[in-house]
Structure 1
């Protein structure tokens, strides 16, 4: 005998208690803040590395500088976009997301969108 697959009606979606939603939103906010912190640390490490390279290049003698060469400006621009600009745009978007989560916690934003944000992460 073949059993029919069990179907769950759409109206029986899981309802979360306000306390659960509150703690989940706080956890998401903490996670996003950690991601922002990681991004800022990565950018800072890149900027320190670039400063060290520039300082080492300037400390070289003229002859050594002639033979070692320097990265072309367009390479430096592409590195900047990759290591600084794009990550900082992501950090800005994460900050906006945090503001949205905090407004949901405060009750100023509709809580109906909470489930959509929780399913994304």
Structure 2
């Protein structure tokens, strides 16, 4: 009897795999940093708009202020949660994710990429 020939296809070298993982981690870090900057710009635009609205309201005459009124406090609180608090929580989680990726790059923790990225 003859042994069946098994063709062995060498996988990519460990150095190449490490380089691919390294470049993937760098790309993920830059993408997450860009997301964080977009979130911070959105929050800044909201706060600027809020300051301008407050300034416009204060510059109105007393009669006009009584007719227009202000947004109720609970509306302002909901806007704050929607436009500031939740986005900043997301930015915080993205910063933690970036720190985790940087630790992977430095080799202090093993490189295990999320399954959705592989």
TM-score of the alignment, normalized to the shorter chain, above 0.5: yes
Determine whether 1:23 maps to 2:20.
Answer: no
2:89 is equivalent to residue 89 of structure 1: yes
After superposition, where does 1:106-121 map in structure 2 within 5 Å? 106-111=106-111, 113-116=112-115, 118-119=117-118
State the alpha-carbon separation in 2 of the partners of residues 80 and 118 from structure 1.
33
Number of aligned pairs? 105
Correspondences of 1:24-103 after superposition (within 5 Å): 24-103=24-103
The 2-side partners of 1:87 and 1:115 are apart by: 23
RMSD: 1.7
Task: Give the gaps of 5 or more residues in structure 1.
Answer: 1-11
Moved over 4 A (4+): none
- Work out the CA distance in 1 between the residues paired with 2:73 and 2:18: 54
TM normalised by structure 2 equals 0.84
Q: Deviations over 1:18-37 (max 9, x none)?
A: 00000000000000000000
Shift of 1:114: 2.0
Deviation (angstroms), 1:116? 2.9
Equivalent residue, structure 2, for 1:3: none
Q: Name stretches of at least 5 consecutive residues in structure 2 with no aligned partner.
A: 1-10
State the alpha-carbon separation in 1 of the partners of residues 74 and 99 from structure 2: 36
Alpha-carbon distance between aligned partners in 2 of 1:68 and 1:26, rounded to the nearest angstrom:
51
